[in-house]
């Protein structure tokens, strides 16, 4: 895995001074899953917990990478069928379940098209329409079979867990930190944030929600004990010769980068893998379908930034978000149930 480019960090921790005697703090920054990651834990065992969690993320990177030919995922993609670990099979089954629930907006078989756009190799190009329509024949989550630990694909298909792997790594990191007795930690996996408990002084964490169009934060989310994951078209995108900007999230129905009026989708929920899967899926769906999905499920909160300068927030997150006064051009609206 190469150090290709620095992913913009979507959410950043807003530092604030805390008073009183500080507990032990241990931070570790590293590169994994093609992005920069940072773990900070507080209390006894902070260093031990963080090192164990970082080791676990390295293991998951080796198992789940679509570009590393030694990964379990590559074994499936090479042979069309492979016996993999229970964990990899479980994450594939989870992605297929969300694919089913989102009518294929999330689709872990979109890889052949993604590769044609050059996103995995950092050699971006605009494929010809005929090339895309030929590749779309090999896309479809309903053609993946998971039977115990054996995963089988129809001919020509390939799997990519890029939309859920970091979220799952967040869940594993949280599990390991808690196993080590840690009750306060900030997990930042390339912008996927997972919060263990509250800050060491007992107050909520303050996360900056990044301005998709600039360098500032449009506002602050004040939250604890949850995962917060953002997907956006402004991350990992490229500009074609005609000036069109193409993002890395593909609409599996068309084979083209999703362009449905959303600039970013932030999901807030307990589980990192759910946040990760839904941030990608709802980005593909666009505003109307995304909000309909929220109304039908409600096991998460969502913040949508639209290309007509609206910030749409569902009820559970509305009182946790504060718009920065410098972003008066944005209209914040609480989504009706």
Identify the three-state secondary structure at position 74.
Answer: helix
First to last CA, the chain: 44
User: How many angstroms separate the CA atoms of 189 and 191, rounded?
Assistant: 5
Our finding on whether 252 is near ligand AMP (CB under 6 A) is yes
Of the pair 43, 211, the CB lying nearest ligand AMP is at 211
Of the pair 164, 311, the CB lying nearest Mg ion is at 164
Applying the rule CB under 5 A, the residues between 104 and 163 that interact with Mg ion are: 163
E-strand ranges in 233-300 read 238-239, 245-246, 262-269
Partner residues linked to 147 by β-bridges:
150
Helix or strand (DSSP H, E) at 35: strand 35-42
Our finding on whether 279 is near Mg ion (CB under 5 A) is yes
Our finding on whether 276 is near Mg ion (CB under 5 A) is yes
Our finding on whether 250 is near ligand AMP (CB under 6 A) is yes
Our finding on whether 108 is near ligand AMP (CB under 6 A) is yes
Partner residues linked to 304 by β-bridges:
265, 312
Applying the rule CB under 6 A, the residues between 264 and 303 that interact with ligand AMP are: 276, 279-280, 284
User: Per CB under 6 A, which region of 51-59, 160-168, 169-177, 322-330 contacts ligand AMP?
Assistant: 160-168
User: Per CB under 6 A, which region of 213-221, 244-252, 295-303, 314-322 contacts ligand AMP?
Assistant: 244-252
User: How many angstroms separate the CA atoms of 122 and 308, rounded?
Assistant: 30
Applying the rule CB under 6 A, the residues between 165 and 194 that interact with ligand AMP are: none
User: Per CB under 6 A, which region of 207-215, 242-250, 266-274, 325-333 contacts ligand AMP?
Assistant: 242-250
Of the pair 235, 276, the CB lying nearest Mg ion is at 276
User: Per CB under 5 A, which region of 209-217, 240-248, 273-281, 304-312 contacts Mg ion?
Assistant: 273-281
State the angle between helix axes of 46-64 and 72-79 in degrees (0 to 180), rounded to the nearest 10: 10
In this structure, are residues 220 and 322 in contact, taking their beta carbons and an 8 Å threshold? yes
In this structure, are residues 269 and 226 in contact, taking their beta carbons and an 8 Å threshold? yes
State the nearest-atom distance from the C-beta of 170 to ligand AMP, in Å.
11
* Residue nearest to ligand AMP as judged by C-beta position: 162
Rounded (5°) CA angle 84-65-92: 45
- Give the binding site for ligand AMP (CB under 6 A): 106-108, 110, 114, 119, 160, 162-163, 231, 248-250, 252, 276, 279-280, 284
């Amino acid at each position: 895995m190469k150090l290709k480019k620095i992913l913009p960090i979507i959410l950043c921790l807003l530092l604030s001074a805390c008073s009183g005697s500080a507990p032990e703090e241990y931070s570790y920054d590293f590169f994994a899953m093609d992005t920069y990651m940072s773990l900070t834990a507080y209390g006894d065992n902070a260093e031990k917990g963080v090192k164990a969690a970082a080791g676990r993320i390295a293991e998951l990177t080796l198992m789940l990478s679509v570009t590393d030919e030694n990964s379990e995922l590559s074994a499936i993609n090479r042979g069309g069928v492979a016996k993999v670990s229970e964990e990899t099979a479980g994450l594939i089954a989870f992605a297929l379940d969300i694919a089913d629930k989102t009518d294929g907006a999330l689709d872990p078989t979109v890889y052949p098209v993604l590769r044609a756009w050059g996103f995995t190799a950092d050699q971006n190009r605009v494929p010809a329409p005929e090339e895309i329509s030929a590749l779309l024949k090999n896309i479809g989550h309903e053609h993946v079979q998971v039977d115990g630990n054996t995963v089988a694909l129809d001919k020509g298909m390939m799997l990519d867990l890029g939309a859920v792997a970091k979220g799952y790594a967040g869940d594993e990191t949280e599990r390991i930190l808690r196993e080590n007795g840690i009750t306060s930690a900030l997990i930042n996996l390339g912008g996927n944030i997972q919060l263990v408990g509250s800050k060491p002084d007992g107050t909520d964490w303050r996360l900056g929600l990044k301005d998709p169009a600039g360098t500032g934060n449009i506002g602050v989310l004040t939250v604890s004990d949850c995962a917060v994951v953002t997907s956006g078209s402004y991350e990992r995108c490229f500009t074609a010769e005609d000036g069109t900007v193409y993002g890395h999230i593909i609409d599996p129905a068309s084979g083209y980068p999703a362009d449905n009026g959303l600039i970013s989708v932030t999901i807030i929920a307990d589980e990192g893998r759910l946040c990760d899967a839904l941030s990608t899926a709802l980005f593909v769906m666009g505003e109307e379908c995304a909000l309909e999905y929220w109304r039908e499920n409600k096991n998460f909160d969502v913040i949508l930034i639209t290309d007509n300068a609206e910030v749409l927030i569902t009820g559970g997150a509305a009182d946790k978000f504060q718009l920065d006064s410098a972003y008066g051009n944005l209209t914040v609206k609480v989504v009706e149930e």
